[in-house]
């Protein structure tokens, strides 16, 4: 009787531990896989999947549990992002979520993770406010992390590149009327003001506008010597095409969306020479980047990554999260957050190497020394200043404050 009971108990324990070992760790993935932002969303997803496959092949996390991705298409729409957040939290019970291309979707959806105490890794959305939404002192703990170059960094870089490095004096700003464009325009104006430059024109257009003649003409007549942009691919292409139509050629420098394939392919020859900040350019400048690019090309059977920045940041987000889960020895949100804020192991990523990337007060991995300027050339993004990526400058580490 006792023996049978012991045997049954052992058996029960055994099956329970087996189930435990095979029990996957669920990670949510939310991004636009269709629509105007899909080049970024799909590249991010593919980068994330690449990292998850590598981790699972090497034995998963928490001593043998595979990571299981739960992918959802938020269509770049705030309300769908919110639905997905609730589904991932309540139904799928994910340990953490990676994602968000669009600042608006991130801001609308993150609050549900904050309330449920589940970490969010923003790997693409750039709005300056994204990691500040639940920052101290208003909130005790912030569950929102990011490993992308935010708009404060990008606008500062754009202003410095145009005014300081290239010596332009009369910038014109062209931004779309979305949150992204208008917040970016404000950041850019502030960054220019720091260099005591006032834009000669500051024009706005709607997403979906078909004719940019008035805006471009205004910049031209104001005597602009450089155009600074904050918009997304299709409208950026309209700007480049309107400039070509008016027979006016000045440099186009703008936020990282100028690297979107929807801009490069639609603008064609008119988009050549456009410059934008990039945390990653598809070039094998470090061994990790080389293996990442080769694995991406082989797995997805393409030569040009549609949005290399999104792919690399998605990949790195998984590595950081996996390291934190291992350190937390748990899938509980608060423990993963603590581990992320005090990450002991060094993580070798594609964008950079991470050594204590986050702290309780700082939820950003990218500082303004990390991105370099990319340049559209022959339908691809290449470094604008190749010397920026030479030798030991290829790997740029976060500056400690």
Partner 1 sequence: MGVLAQLIVSGISVGMIYAVIAFGYQLTFATSKTLNFGQGEALMLGALVGLTTVNFLIGASLGNLTAYLLMLPLVCLFGMAQGAAVEFLGVRQALRTKSDAGWIMATIALGIILRNAAEIIWGRDSLKFPSPLPESALSVGPVRIQPMEIAVVVGALLLMALVELFNRRSIYGKAVVATANDRDAAGLMGINTRLVITFSYALSSMAAAFAGVLVAPLTLTGASMGAVLGLKAFAVAIIGGLSSGVGVIVGGLILGITETLTGYYVSSGYKDVPGLILLLLVLSLKPSGIFGKAAIKKV
**Number of residues counted as binding partner 1 (CB under 8 A):** 30
C-beta closer to partner 1: residue 109 or 202 = 202
Residue 344 beta carbon to partner 1: minimum distance, rounded to whole angstroms: 43
Q: How far is the CB of 76 from partner 1 (least distance, A)?
A: 9
Query: For partner 1, which is the closer residue by CB, 75 or 278?
Result: 75
Of the CA atoms within 13 Å of residue 1, those in its CB half-sphere come to: 0
Binder to partner 1 among 89, 118, 148, 237 (CB under 8 A)?
Answer: 237
Position 71 contacts partner 1 (CB under 8 A): no
User: What are the φ and ψ backbone dihedral angles of 26, each rounded to 5 degrees?
Assistant: -85, 130
Nearer of residues 268 and 284 to partner 1, judged by Cβ: 268
Comparing CB distances to partner 1, the nearer of 15 and 206 is 206
Identity of the residue, 149 or 174, whose beta carbon is nearer to partner 1 in the bound complex: 174
Instruction: Say if CB 11 and CB 51 are below 8 A apart.
Output: no
Residue selected from 28, 31, 36, 254 as contacting partner 1 according to rule CB under 8 A? 36
Among positions 23, 24, 26, 35, the unique one binding partner 1 when judged by CB under 8 A: 35
Q: How far apart are alpha carbons 324 and 336 in whole angstroms?
A: 6
How far apart, in Å, are the Cα atoms of 24 and each of 65, 354, 380? 5, 26, 38
- Min dist CB 233 to partner 1, Å, is 8
Q: Rounded to whole angstroms, how far apart are CA atoms 293 and 282?
A: 7
CB of 98 to partner 1, least distance (A): 22
Footprint of partner 1 on 352-391 (CB under 8 A) = none
245 binds partner 1 (CB under 8 A): yes
Q: Which residues contact 211 (CB under 8 A, 6 or more apart)?
A: 238, 242
78 binds partner 1 (CB under 8 A): no
Q: Are strands 67-73 and 25-31 parallel, antiparallel or unpaired?
A: parallel
By CB under 8 A, residue 266 contacts partner 1: yes
* 3-class SS of residue 23: coil
Give the residue among 126, 115, 94 at the shortest CA–CA distance from 30.
94
Residue pointed to by tokens 């910038």: 171
Q: Rounded to 5 degrees, what angle do the CA atoms 173, 174, 177 make?
A: 125
Q: Which is nearer to partner 1, 35 or 251 (CB)?
A: 35
Q: At its nearest, how many Å lie between partner 1 and the CB of residue 78? A: 16
Specify whether the backbone of 167 is left (phi greater than 0), alpha (psi in -120 to 50) or beta.
Answer: left
Residue 131 DSSP one-character state: T
* Residue 217 binding partner 1, by CB under 8 A: yes
The 8-class DSSP code of residue 252 comes to E
What x-and-dash track marks residues 184-213 binding partner 1 by CB under 8 A?
-------------------xxxx-x-xx-x
Closer of 16 and 214 to partner 1 (Cβ) = 214
Helix-helix angle 233-245:213-221, to 10 degrees: 60
Asked if residue 250 binds partner 1 (CB under 8 A), the reply is no
The contact set with partner 1 (CB under 8 A) reads 34-36, 38, 75, 177, 203-206, 208, 210-211, 213-215, 217-218, 221, 234, 237-238, 241, 244-247, 262, 265-266
């Amino acid at each position: 009787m006792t023996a049978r009971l012991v045997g049954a108990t052992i058996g029960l324990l055994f099956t329970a531990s087996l189930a435990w070992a095979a029990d996957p760790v669920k990670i949510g993935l939310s991004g636009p896989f269709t629509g105007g932002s899909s080049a970024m969303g799909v590249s991010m997803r593919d980068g994330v999947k690449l990292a998850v496959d590598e981790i699972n092949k090497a034995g998963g996390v928490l001593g043998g549990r595979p990571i299981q991705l739960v992918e959802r298409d938020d269509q770049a729409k705030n309300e769908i992002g919110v639905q997905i957040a609730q589904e991932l939290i309540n139904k799928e019970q994910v340990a953490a979520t990676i994602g968000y291309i669009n600042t608006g979707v991130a801001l609308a959806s993150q609050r549900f993770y904050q309330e449920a105490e589940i970490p969010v890794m923003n790997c693409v959305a750039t709005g300056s406010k994204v990691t500040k939404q639940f920052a101290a002192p208003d909130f005790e703990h912030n569950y929102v992390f990011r490993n992308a170059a935010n708009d404060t960094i990008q606008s500062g870089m754009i202003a410095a590149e145009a005014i300081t490095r290239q010596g332009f004096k009369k910038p014109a700003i062209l931004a779309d009327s979305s949150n992204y464009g208008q917040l970016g325009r404000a950041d850019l104006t502030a960054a220019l003001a720091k260099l005591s430059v006032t834009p000669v024109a500051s024009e706005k257009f709607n997403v979906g506008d078909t004719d940019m003649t008035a805006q471009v003409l205004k910049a031209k007549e104001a005597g602009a010597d450089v155009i600074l942009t904050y918009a997304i691919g299709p409208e950026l292409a309209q700007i480049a095409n309107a400039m070509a139509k008016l027979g006016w050629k000045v440099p186009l420098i703008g936020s990282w969306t100028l690297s979107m394939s929807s801009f490069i392919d639609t603008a064609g020859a008119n988009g050549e020479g456009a410059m934008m900040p990039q945390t990653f350019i598809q070039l094998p400048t470090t061994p990790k980047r080389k293996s990442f690019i080769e694995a991406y090309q082989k797995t997805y059977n393409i030569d040009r990554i549609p949005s290399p920045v999104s792919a690399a940041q998605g990949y790195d987000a998984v590595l950081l999260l996996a390291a934190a889960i291992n350190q937390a020895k748990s899938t509980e949100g608060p423990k993963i957050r603590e581990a992320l804020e005090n990450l002991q192991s060094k993580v070798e990523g594609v964008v950079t190497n991470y050594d204590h990337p986050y702290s309780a007060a700082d939820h950003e991995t990218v500082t303004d020394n990390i991105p370099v300027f990319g340049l559209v050339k022959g339908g691809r993004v290449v470094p604008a200043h190749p010397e920026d990526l030479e030798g030991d400058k290829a790997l740029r580490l976060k500056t400690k404050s």
